[in-house]
């Protein structure tokens, strides 16, 4: 592991519901970013210590996304969508979520997370070759976000026009 300050590794950044040991594992993953095996080991440890925790899911998503492992990133992004749907008392299947201006126009933290997680899911699906699924997810974000606060309309238009340029990375969230 690169030289990492113990105080940095032990800091509490993610809030009170993530066990300290799991948070440290996420910090170890970040400190070892150039070593995929070490990152994966640290993320696996975090998952054992805090199964299904959103911070761990986001760490796993980012690891796959930034290594361009988009097919592997898609199910993790979908897990984030489902986690947020549970928190919002929405249907588990994002396709069944109906527009609700009171919920999605305010873009409070949880609805915002739901929309950006769904946008990320759509993006990585398109990039991984599952254009139908990705386009449907992006279209759902546009439907739920009529003000386009997530900037998804442009991304969907690019996809529908035949694809994304190689350097397009709007769905990072």
Percent of the chain with pLDDT over 70: 85
Residues 87 and 126 in one domain: yes
Instruction: Give the ranges where 4-128 is alpha helix by DSSP (H).
Output: 6-9, 20-31, 36-49, 54-66, 70-87, 101-104, 109-127
Residue 133 lies in a domain: yes
Same domain, 81 and 135: yes
62 in a domain, yes or no? Answer: no
pLDDT of residue 167: 47
Of 80, 85, 47, residue with least CA distance to 172: 80
pLDDT at 72 over 80: yes
pLDDT band at 5 (very low <50, low <70, confident <90, very high): low
Check: CB of residue 152 under 8 Å from CB of residue 142.
yes
Q: Does 173 lie in the same domain as 98?
A: yes
Give yes or no for a contact between 49 and 19, defined as CB atoms under 8 angstroms apart.
Answer: yes
Count the domains in the chain: 2
For residues 12 and 71, give the distance between their C-alpha atoms in angstroms, rounded to a whole number: 31
Query: Residue 1 above 60 pLDDT?
Result: no
| Same-domain status, 12 and 89 | no
Domain membership of residue 99 as a residue range: 68-173
**What integer pLDDT is reported at residue 104 of this predicted model?**
86
pLDDT digits 0-9 by tens, 17-36: 889 899 999 999 999 999 99
Burial-class residue 1 by CB neighbours within 10 Å (0-12, 13-18, 19+): exposed
Residues 44 and 73 in one domain: no
Residue 3 banded pLDDT, cuts 50, 70, 90: low
């Amino acid at each position: 592991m690169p030289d990492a300050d113990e105080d940095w590794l032990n800091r509490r950044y993610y809030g009170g519901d993530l066990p300290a040991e799991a948070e440290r594992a996420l910090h170890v993953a970040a400190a070892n970013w150039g070593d995929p095996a070490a990152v994966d080991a640290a993320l696996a440890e975090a998952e054992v210590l805090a199964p299904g925790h959103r911070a761990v899911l986001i760490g796993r998503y980012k690891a796959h996304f930034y290594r361009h492992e988009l097919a592997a990133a898609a199910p993790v992004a979908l897990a984030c969508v489902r986690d947020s749907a549970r928190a919002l008392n929405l249907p588990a299947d994002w396709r069944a979520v109906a527009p609700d201006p009171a919920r999605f126009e305010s873009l409070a933290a949880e609805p915002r997370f739901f929309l950006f997680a769904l946008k990320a899911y759509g993006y990585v699906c398109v990039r991984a070759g599952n254009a139908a699924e990705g386009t449907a997810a992006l279209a759902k974000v546009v439907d739920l976000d009529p003000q386009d606060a997530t900037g998804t309309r442009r991304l969907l238009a690019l996809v529908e026009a035949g694809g994304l340029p190689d350097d397009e990375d709007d769905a990072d969230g």
